[in-house]
């Protein structure tokens, strides 16, 4: 097509549009498109391969290959040149196809007489739908113009598939968004939920794919881009903090990018509508995003993707507010979401499913606070789901059942019924003190971070709040909260606790928790970087303000505060000195001081376990931060799915290490607790209690299951099982403990 004009390209798109408008079955449309494309490009062959399942492509239409191969020829992802295009999402342009890397001969198609091969992916916004191929007998490499033309046809095919233009018999021609889908993600928050999809960002639907009047479309595009630029400039003019300005400057850079605009203009010149041109560039950005490993480049491509969404909404008039009401039992589906946005939905949600996110993300913290199931890394969910779709979320296994069939619904509801029955059982022991069968008293406390958590304090049977995360109030707003605002909030927390102990952890920011108004540090390993108490001691203004707010909130009541991520004795002494200064200042101002103040620390680094004896004598209490301590002990990033499940909490070396901390605290007479996800897992909690821990802090829903097991367990017997397993050189005590429990009934 190198000598063909852009008007001929528009002519092909016009013929495709006419084909789409005709009343015809899906197969007939596909057949006509292959004929039109081969004819327009002057090739002997044009073929369309579509996915019949996640891993298999099927030949669904062809011009030039044997007709009997249609719906019979199939190949796995990565198999042959077609499979190579599908896997990589990249174009393959080969003058001598049989000698190209990955070539596989398909004898039933009759393709042995064709030398040249051009394959482009059929994809929409990063979702791979199939492969479009042209072939010819002449051994030649296709020109850039021909490649572009086939890309445009593939893009139109993707849009037509989204609009249901190719529905027919067989798995590859099934209607989109109608079939049951199982998506395997990652556990973000335990629990099970059934409901209906609510898309955080409803998908923009482009219906006018091609246009006859390029000048009119060009004018529409330029007006929309100008409107976009004005809106970004307006937001930027009102932004005050440097971090917001930095993000918006990146937005403005893209909005004013001549290259971005030029590519869309070229798409329009070749016959696409303004909307299609924007979406084509957006799809390309998403395809590149999936292949980029550099975090900075991914972030920039994310900016471009978000900007394209804004531009599409301007062009189509399809705003984020669709006017639709939340469905019954809404399950939020999004690519990602900030903590403030999630809090706005609040407890109306039954569950949350995210394509991205992490176990330590702000959204995950809020989901835990709201006690709603969360699944993260649920690939394709935003492109598969439609508003109102029936959805079942298994946060325990990290599974999402979208439009489930009857057998899945039945099994899932049985599981939810069993969980409900268990909750009733746990409710009956809510007021029962947690005393093991051997007479050991274990204190069970809950973790919290929001006022929304605190109704669970009485309902769960928790004896108090073993960890109140104060950073959430900083994360969900766009500017630093004021001292009086914090004092009022902390006072409400103490009021809601009704005299039960609340342990306030001072601001734990850095690593995966970056304040929106705080400039992030470019650190190669932020989990081991400038975070938590390190920030507080280097920038003491915020720490002092928070300590003053806590002292005022107590208003004469007892106050318990702990510092996060202390790694050595001098850090605790420096932090304790800041508390002493805050107390002295409040006394000078004539404010009422707490009747009793306890100051402790979280033990999250192995170094603190080996601190001098003076540390354990000086600190009022120690709380083991199990999540961080475990990742540093095993050198396994808890955000890395490849390694975070590799190491068992009940590994004998880790339990021996924890036992050493128990012994040091006992020798100094220092109260010790264990706080983290493992404290809320019954088997892990049992083993922690057996090695001497007498206080555990966990999410509220875990208290019932943990108490139920502890009440009927003999810790002395479990301890003997642990010691015997360790003496036998077992890597983990889990198998031995599980066998003991099965025998004990």
Q: Distance between CA 251 and CA 245 in Å, rounded? A: 10
Integer angstrom CA distances of residue 114 from 44, 83, 105, 185: 8, 18, 11, 42
Q: Are 719 and 691 in contact (CB under 8 A)?
A: yes
Signed CA dihedral, 142, 147, 149, 155: sign only: positive
Q: Distance between CA 418 and CA 629 in Å, rounded? A: 34
Q: In what order do the strands lie in the sheet with 127-136?
A: 74-76, 56-63, 45-53, 127-136, 116-124, 92-94
Q: Are 254 and 285 in contact (CB under 8 A)?
A: no
- 362 in active site: yes
Q: Distance between CA 268 and CA 275 in Å, rounded? A: 9
3-state SS class at 186: strand
- 687 in active site: no
DSSP state of 196: E
Integer angstrom CA distances of residue 392 from 20, 74, 189, 193, 420: 35, 32, 14, 6, 16
- Residue of 46, 675, 687, 708 marked active site: 675
Q: Distance between CA 661 and CA 667 in Å, rounded? A: 10
Instruction: Copy the structure tokens of residue 245.
Output: 């300005």
DSSP state of 203: P
Beta strands 374-376 and 351-354: pairing type? parallel
651 forms beta bridges with 732
Q: Which residue has the tokens 């508003």?
A: 387
* Cβ partners under 8 Å of residue 600, min gap 6: 503, 560, 561, 562, 563, 619, 620, 621, 622, 623, 671
Q: Which residue has the tokens 């850079």?
A: 253
Integer angstrom CA distances of residue 575 from 148, 301, 514, 579, 591: 62, 41, 21, 7, 21
- Residue of 71, 362, 377, 708 marked active site: 362
Q: Which residue has the tokens 């298994």?
A: 394
Q: What is the CA radius of gyration of the chain?
A: 30
Which active-site residues does the annotation give? 362, 675
């Amino acid at each position: 097509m190198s000598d063909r004009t852009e008007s001929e390209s528009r002519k092909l798109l016009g013929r495709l549009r006419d084909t789409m408008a005709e009343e015809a079955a899906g197969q007939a449309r596909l057949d006509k498109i292959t004929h039109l494309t081969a004819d327009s490009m002057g090739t002997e062959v044009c073929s369309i391969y579509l996915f019949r399942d996640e891993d298999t492509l099927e030949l669904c239409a062809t011009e030039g290959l044997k007709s009997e191969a249609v719906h019979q020829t199939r190949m796995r992802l990565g198999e042959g040149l077609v499979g190579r295009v599908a896997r990589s999402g990249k174009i393959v342009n080969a003058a001598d196809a049989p000698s190209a890397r990955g070539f596989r001969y398909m004898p039933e198609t009759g393709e042995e007489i064709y030398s040249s091969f051009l394959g482009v992916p059929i994809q929409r916004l990063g979702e791979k739908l199939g492969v479009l191929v042209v072939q010819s007998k002449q051994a030649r490499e296709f020109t850039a113009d021909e490649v572009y033309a086939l890309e445009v046809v593939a893009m139109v095919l993707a849009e037509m598939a989204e609009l249901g233009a190719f529905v027919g018999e067989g798995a590859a021609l099934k209607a989109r968004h109608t079939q049951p889908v199982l998506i395997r993600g990652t556990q973000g928050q335990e629990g099970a939920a059934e409901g209906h999809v609510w898309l955080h960002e409803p998908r923009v639907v482009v219906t006018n794919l091609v246009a006859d009047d390029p000048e009119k479309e060009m004018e529409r595009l330029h007006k929309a881009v100008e409107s976009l630029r004005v809106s970004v400039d307006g937001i930027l003019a009102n932004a005050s903090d440097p971090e917001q300005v930095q993000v918006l400057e990146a937005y403005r850079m893209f909005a004013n990018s001549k290259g971005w605009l030029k590519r869309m203009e070229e798409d329009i010149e070749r016959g696409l509508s303004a909307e299609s041109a924007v979406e084509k560039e957006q799809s390309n950005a998403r395809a590149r995003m999936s292949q980029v490993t550099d975090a900075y480049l991914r972030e920039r491509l994310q900016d471009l993707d978000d900007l394209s969404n804004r531009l599409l909404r301007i062009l189509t008039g399809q705003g984020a507010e669709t006017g639709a009401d939340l469905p019954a039992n809404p399950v939020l589906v999004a690519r990602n979401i900030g903590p403030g946005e999630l809090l706005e939905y609040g407890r109306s949600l039954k569950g949350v499913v995210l394509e991205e996110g992490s176990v330590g993300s702000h959204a995950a913290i809020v989901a835990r606070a709201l006690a709603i199931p969360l699944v993260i890394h649920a690939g394709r969910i935003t492109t598969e789901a439609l508003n109102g779709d029936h959805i079942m979320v298994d946060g325990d296994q990290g599974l999402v059942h979208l439009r489930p069939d009857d057998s899945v619904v039945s099994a899932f509801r049985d599981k939810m019924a069993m969980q409900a029955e268990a909750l009733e059982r746990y409710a009956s022991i809510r007021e029962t003190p947690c005393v093991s069968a051997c007479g050991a008293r274990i204190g069970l406390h809950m973790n919290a971070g929001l006022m929304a958590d605190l109704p669970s304090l009485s309902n769960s049977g928790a004896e108090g709040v073993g960890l109140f995360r104060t950073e959430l109030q900083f994360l969900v707003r766009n500017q630093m909260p004021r001292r009086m605002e914090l004092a009022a909030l902390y006072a409400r927390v103490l009021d809601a606790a009704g005299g039960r102990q609340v342990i306030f952890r001072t601001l734990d920011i850095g690593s995966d928790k970056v304040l929106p108004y705080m400039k992030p540090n470019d650190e190669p390993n932020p989990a081991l970087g400038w975070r938590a108490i390190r920030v507080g001691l280097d920038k003491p203004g915020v720490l002092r303000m928070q300590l003053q707010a806590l002292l005022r909130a107590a208003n004469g009541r007892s106050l318990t505060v702990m510092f996060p991520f202390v790694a050595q004795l001098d850090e605790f002494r420096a932090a304790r000195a800041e508390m002493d200064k805050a107390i002295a200042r409040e006394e000078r101002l004539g404010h009422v001081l707490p009747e009793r103040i306890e100051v402790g620390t979280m033990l999250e680094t192995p170094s603190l376990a080996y601190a001098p004896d003076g540390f354990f004598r000086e600190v009022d209490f120690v709380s083991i931060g199990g999540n961080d301590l475990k990742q540093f002990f095993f050198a396994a990033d808890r955000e890395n799915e490849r390694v975070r499940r590799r190491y068992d909490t009940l590994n004998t070396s880790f339990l021996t290490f924890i036992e050493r901390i128990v012994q040091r605290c006992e020798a100094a007479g220092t109260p010790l607790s264990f706080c983290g996800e493992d404290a809320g897992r019954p088997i892990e909690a049992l083993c922690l209690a057996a090695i001497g821990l007498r206080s555990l802090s966990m999410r509220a829903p875990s208290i019932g299951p943990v108490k139920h097991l502890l009440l009927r367990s003999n810790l002395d017997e479990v301890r003997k099982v642990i010691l015997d397993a360790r003496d036998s050189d077992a890597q983990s005590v889990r198998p031995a403990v599980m066998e003991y429990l099965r025998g004990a009934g």
